[in-house]
Structure 1
Amino acid sequence: MTVQENTTLKAAYAGKVAADLAENTAEQDRIRAEIGTLQAQLAALENDHALLEGVSAALGDTTGGVPAPRKAAKKTAAVAKEEVAKKPVAKNASAKKTMTAKGGAKAANTGADKGPALTELIHAHLSGQSEPRTAREIAKAVADANPGRNVNDNLVRTTTERLVARGRVDRVKQGSTVYYTARPDAAPAASGPAEEAAAAAS
């Protein structure tokens, strides 16, 4: 490397170092300025904090009696909550009593509305007919005349077949259809709820 080249290289390094120094100095100045600003803000905040503490202390001295009404409010809320908790108990007891009364009345009505045995209703209906009737026709007529009774085709068919077995009703089959007619001279046989239940189960 020649002396001239060495001198040029040193000059380049010197220029680079000078620029870096200038940039470093400027950055330090910027940070110092920011630090000064932040310190001023911190001092202002500390001053405000001291003032607020003084105001808070003064307010605390003048409103020292405030907590007492809050306790009273809590006590009132507790009493109201207790009363609300008691009300559903009375309501439930009243509802239970009402349901019990309804259940008793329903049971009484069920016993009172039982009415004649289904066998007697069927025989009475057939006795008043001049023509044979199918089980479906009998069921409809008995159901219409006794809306409170649980009557269906299968129950009527089974019960009518029992009357046939006792000789109180005649059974005639025409093709695939079965007709029933009452025997006017047939003596009524005893029939009760137990027998109707057996007919319904069969």
Structure 2
Amino acid sequence: MSENASATELTSQYTAQVTADLERNTKEQERVGVEIAALQEQLASLQRDHTVLVNIQQAIDAVPVPDSTAPPSGNVPVPAPRKKAAPSGRAERTRPSKKTRPSRKTAAQPAQTAGQTAGKSTGKSAGKSAGKPSAGKAEAVQTAQATLVDLVRRHLTEQSEPRSAAEIATALGQAHPERAIKTTVIRTTLEGLVAKTQAQRSKQGSSVFYTAADPSRSAATARSEEQPEPADA
């Protein structure tokens, strides 16, 4: 009888140990699956941003650069027509004096001034046209889509009451109709935030609700994660 009791007790201990290990393994699989889904969403967002930046870079490379070395059109000085030669007997009387004859340098100054003014205006317009792609690039980067994790975390922070995964998916779908938001993905993202103590989960009957994490608790968890482990003696 004593041997049978010992065998039964040993079997019960093994059964309890195996059950606990199996439950722990199942929970660990769920946690890893949640983190993988969140990382896949972040990767998809980065790939979309990369596509936008590549398109902007191609648009910048396609803008033609004006040639500043070419002379401006319409500003080339035209030489004055030569006067007919006077007869030999009257050459001395009809030739103008040196004081009244305009020098070539003085005649060319207005043309040079006009050319410099046109060159400056051309440089300014070229600078403005070259600056437009940079402004478009900055605007496109600012309007790049945020990750789904950021959207969910921000939505929880703005709520004063717990929300279910379906309610959060509906609200985000209405706020961002350009994104295909599914309830399963939202639930996976919420579980990832709960695992990182960035959100809290509560259960009311068979329904699960989520709220934003306590800021003091999140700060304490972040400090504990950043604190280095003591070195072995």
User: TM above 0.5, one fold?
Assistant: no
TM class by shorter chain equals 0.3 to 0.5
Q: Which has the higher helix share?
A: 1
Structure ranking higher on relative contact order (CA contacts 8 Å, 6+ apart): 2
Q: Which protein has the larger Cα radius of gyration, Structure 1 or Structure 2? A: 1
